[in-house]
Structure formats: C-alpha cells, structure tokens
Amino acid sequence: MPDGKVADVEVAEPSPLTMLNQAACLAVEKAAPFNPMPLNPANEEIKMKIDIVFKIERNRMAGSF
C-alpha cells in the first residue's frame, strides 16, 4: 500500500513444504511497514516481488561423538 503497509501476501513459487511457504509470508508481514514508495502521486497500491530463499542444513551435532 502507498503508506508501506502490506495488503496481501502470496507465494509465487510455492515450496512443497507448507511450513516454508507460511514462514515466507510471515517474514514479509513482520517486516512491514516498508518505506513509502516515492513518486507515487496517485497513491496507488504497488505490487512487489521479494525473493526469499531458505537454506536447510542437517544438524551436524546430532549423533556425532
């Protein structure tokens, strides 16, 4: 939205893991409000695409002695 608030969050390329899709949406919602967009005299909503990449690593400590 023009004031930096988030109106709608959707995942463009969903992961097969629902938990990651939900985490991506939550990350965007918690990051709001964003800075207002400059040069938007009509105060229109602006769509943005934000790439979020999760890196999942194995717990290297588990079971290793």
Full-model pTM: 0.69
Tokens of 26: 């939550």
pLDDT for res 40: 64
- pLDDT tens for residues 8-42? 899 999 999 999 999 999 999 999 888 877 766 67
pLDDT band at 2 (very low <50, low <70, confident <90, very high): low
What gap in Å lies between CA 32 and CA 52, rounded to an integer? 15
Q: Where are the domains positioned within the chain?
A: 1-65
**DSSP H/E element including 7:** none
pLDDT for res 41: 65
Tokens of 2: 């023009």
